[in-house]
């Protein structure tokens, strides 16, 4: 097994779903959707199309589970009053294919094209990337202007956190996957909100701070005290979605000036 294959084995933890399994009851209001990637692979997602005409959150989840499990985030984000598209990557849930860095980028591009066909413009899209999904968001945001980019618990590059994710590999081992997010976020034309827990043992807070420092203005950093890698919104409580809403309101006003 080559090093790239080893990296993928320990980086991606896809859960599969039966093709005929309907959305769970907590994903109320969701429509199952499919989109074809440039490599011909079809990926699966959930779409909440209400409120009609509202901005859209393109939610890019972490490296484990699938959209049925992740659909709980819809209720969490509902106070923002946005629509939402939640996608599964290659090999996750009902999506075909095998996950890899290149494949995840194709997934993100396919989601953007799907939204474009529904008449959604980029300045109406909020890219929301959680952990690994933040790296996909940074790829999509490179050189583009979206309504906003939200990065939660995200790393600057895979090499930067290799000792945490792959402690069994010798230091400096080429990984085959890169996700150079810190380079890409510096070239975005979008407002950026970085959210990170100060007790994150998997992706240290310093990673989030460096992403924030590399991002252009307007930008904000939201450090959640006591939060680890997977419990940021839980620890932040009601202030979590409120802080996101304030950021979106402030940057919307800047865009009107």
pLDDT in tens, 182-202: 999 999 999 999 999 999 999
pTM score, whole prediction: 0.95
- Give the CA distances from residue 163 to residues 176, 229, 237, in Å, rounded to whole numbers and listed in that order: 15, 16, 31
Burial 33-62 (b: 16+ CB within 10 A, else e): bebebeeebebbbbbbbeeeeebbbbbbbb
CB-based contact 215:139 (threshold 8 Å) = no
- Give the CA distances from residue 30 to residues 45, 46, 55, 201, in Å, rounded to whole numbers and listed in that order: 9, 6, 16, 33
- Which pLDDT tens digit goes with each residue over 159-183? 898 877 777 776 666 777 899 999 9
Give the C-alpha separation, 155 to 136, whole Å.
Answer: 11
Q: What is the pLDDT of residue 170?
A: 66
DSSP state of 21: P
- Which pLDDT tens digit goes with each residue over 87-126? 999 999 999 999 999 999 999 999 999 999 999 999 999 9
Q: What is the pLDDT of residue 10?
A: 82
Known catalytic residues are: 131, 200, 229
**Looking up tokens 């896809």, which residue turns up?**
14
Residue 86 buriedness (CB in 10 A; 0-12 / 13-18 / 19+):
buried
DSSP state of 123: G
Query: CA angle at residue 104 from 103 to 109, to 5 degrees?
Result: 95
Q: How confident is the model at residue 257 (pLDDT cuts 50, 70, 90)?
A: very low
Query: What domains appear along the chain, each with residue ranges and CATH number?
Result: 3-16+30-256 (3.40.50.1820)
Percent of the chain with pLDDT over 70: 95
Give me the mean pLDDT over the 74-93 stretch: 97
List, edge to edge, every strand of the sheet that includes 219-224: 31-36, 42-48, 83-87, 56-60, 125-130, 148-152, 192-197, 219-224
């Amino acid at each position: 097994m080559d090093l790239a294959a080893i990296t993928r084995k320990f980086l991606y933890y896809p859960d599969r779903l039966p093709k005929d399994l309907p959305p769970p009851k907590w994903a109320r209001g969701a429509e199952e959707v499919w989109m074809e990637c440039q490599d011909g692979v079809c990926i699966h997602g959930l779409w909440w199309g209400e409120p009609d005409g509202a901005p859209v959150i393109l939610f890019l989840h972490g490296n484990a589970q699938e959209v049925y499990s992740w659909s709980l985030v819809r209720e969490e984000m509902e106070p923002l009053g946005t629509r939402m598209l939640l996608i599964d990557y290659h090999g996750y849930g009902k999506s075909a294919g095998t996950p890899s860095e290149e494949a995840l980028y194709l997934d993100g591009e396919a989601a953007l094209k799907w939204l474009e066909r529904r008449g959604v413009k980029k300045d109406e899209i909020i890219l929301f990337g959680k952990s690994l999904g933040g790296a996909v968001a940074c790829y999509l945001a490179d050189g583009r202007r979206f309504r906003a980019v939200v990065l939660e618990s995200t790393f600057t590059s895979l090499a930067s956190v290799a000792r945490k994710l792959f402690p069994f590999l010798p230091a400096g081992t080429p990984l085959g996957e890169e996700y150079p997010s810190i380079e890409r976020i510096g070239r975005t034309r979008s407002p950026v909100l970085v959210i990170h827990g100060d007790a994150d043992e998997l992706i240290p807070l310093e990673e989030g701070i460096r992403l924030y420092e590399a991002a252009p203005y307007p930008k904000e950093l939201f450090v959640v005290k006591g939060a680890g890698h997977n419990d940021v919104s839980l620890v932040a409580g009601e202030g979590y979605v409120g802080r996101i809403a304030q950021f979106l309101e402030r940057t919307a006003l800047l865009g009107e000036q």
